[in-house]
Amino acid sequence: MSPISRGISVHESWFHSIHRLIDAAVICGVVRFSLLHTDETGWPHILAIAAATILVHHVVAELSGLYRSWRGLQLRQEMVCVLLTWSYTVLILLGFGLVAQYNAEFSYSSKMVWICGTPALMVAARIMLRKTQQRLRVHGFNTRTYAICGVNELGIQLARNTESAPEMGLRQVGFFDDRSAERTVALPAALGRRAGNLEDLVARARHGQIDIVYITFPMRAEERIRGVLAKLADTTASVYIVPDFFVFELLHARWTNIKGLPAVSVFENPLYGVDGLLKRAVDLALGVVLLAAAAVPMLLTAAAIKLTSKGPVFFRQKRYGLDGREILVWKFRTMTCCEDGSNVRQATHNDNRVTPIGQILRRMSIDELPQLFNVLEGTMSLVGPRPHAEAHNEQYRPLIEGYMLRHKVKPGITGLAQVNGHRGETETLEKMERRIKCDHQYIREWSFGMDLRILARTPLVVVSQRNAY
């Protein structure tokens, strides 16, 4: 007997097809409008350009996941994906045009209308579609009924999430559970009511009164889940199991599929695909700009270090990088010694190892500027968890749960912990725990906007804080 292939099917709604058609129409319309005043541009030429743009955009969109289901996700997330997808489409097309010497045939104004107008209309179209969906669902159109199987905290959280997202078009029938009220949690009145036991759930599903059933039993209740699934198999309701993964420390969890067997990540790098490419591109672009701007101050700093103390200008220290791999981090030397071994003592207030010029450099974080070289070579990012000395990693990893998870992304010159006040000496375990908590939050909630906010806040933090020694 051949093995049964188990998988999760993804059903595209007709709204996904509408998105594809609207994007294609927007591209055609903007191409036509942008070439209105371009000489010798006829319809064959316009159609060829539009077709090439649609083809490249569609390929990039498949890679970025633009046309996946955005049901239940924030509008902002979809808009960011639209802009990123179009940005890569433009880069690819302009690159081909540059190689083929095709770009010169079009005016600057035509290219700017094409580059800026297309994503603006795509975003506007999606906003209008979402508004239309919401209005339809308020009036009872395009809605689906759902039931929650399991009166527990996870079920309540699920009900709370669906209530706060009316654009999903889900109408709750109620909670169902065989256990008595004394053995289950109390249901908030605003989030639903107990509508019966599991037999009632199956009966109502058989009569077509329930479209979707969400099973929120804990994963350890395998037999109960199997029993419910066996009974619901005699209905046409869509059934989903909501796993209680909240018991784990999830870092930017995502689904994957291994030959039909689904798996969810618990500890994973959030910067994959388009997001990773974008972050690397920003690191390179801003890194070059910042290095150019800091070139003169860095030369003056190097001269001051050389003239005021004996020893090298730069200091390269072993630290942990992405996935715990060893990297060498560049710094201006600020001490009379260069510790880099199994016993590295953190700098403290009035530390006699710090040189007079080093005190100024450390206070203003100027000693960190050479790490721009690390950013350009790819071992660090502009924003990320600050890299610790190897000795400190080995000291704290057995003391703080999940300490090493901070290495699921590249270390940064600045980070969320630093702009939230957790900068400088960590003389107590509690201080290091607060820093690690911020690092985990950064990995879970990473976005391009978060990086920009951290970069914008960093200069103010450096000037205002006085806890770096």
> Is the predicted pLDDT of residue 342 greater than 90, yes or no?
no
The C-alpha atoms of residue 147 and residue 176 are separated, in whole angstroms, by 7
At residue 5, the pLDDT reads 35
- Structure confidence by residue, pLDDT tens digits, 232-248: 988 888 899 988 765 55
Residue 461 pLDDT grade (very low, low, confident, very high; cuts 50, 70, 90):
confident
Could you give the 3-state DSSP secondary structure of residue 218? coil
How many beta carbons lie within 10 A of that of residue 297, not counting itself? Answer: 11
Residue 84: partners with Cβ closer than 8 Å, 6 or more residues away? 64, 274, 275, 278
Average pLDDT over residues 91-106: 78
Report which of residues 391 and 8 the model is more confident about: 391
Q: How is residue 389 annotated by DSSP? A: B
At residue 202, the pLDDT reads 93
Mean per-residue pLDDT over the chain, rounded: 83
* Burial of 425: CB neighbours in 10 Å, binned 0-12, 13-18, 19+: middle
pTM (2 decimals)?
0.59
Query: If we measure between CA atoms, which residue out of 162, 155, 323, 175 comes closest to residue 246?
Result: 155
Phi and psi torsions of 329, nearest 5°:
-100, 130
At residue 10, the pLDDT reads 39
At residue 298, the pLDDT reads 93
- Structure confidence by residue, pLDDT tens digits, 168-222: 778 899 999 999 988 999 999 889 999 999 999 999 999 889 989 999 998 888 8
> Is the predicted pLDDT of residue 270 greater than 90, yes or no?
no
Residue 295 pLDDT grade (very low, low, confident, very high; cuts 50, 70, 90):
very high
Residue 423: partners with Cβ closer than 8 Å, 6 or more residues away? 417, 461, 465, 467, 468
At residue 161, the pLDDT reads 87
Name all domains of the chain by residue range, CATH numbers in brackets.
14-138 (no CATH), 144-247 (3.40.50.720), 274-464 (no CATH)
At residue 336, the pLDDT reads 73
At residue 274, the pLDDT reads 66
- Structure confidence by residue, pLDDT tens digits, 14-58: 666 788 899 999 999 998 888 776 555 567 777 888 899 999 999
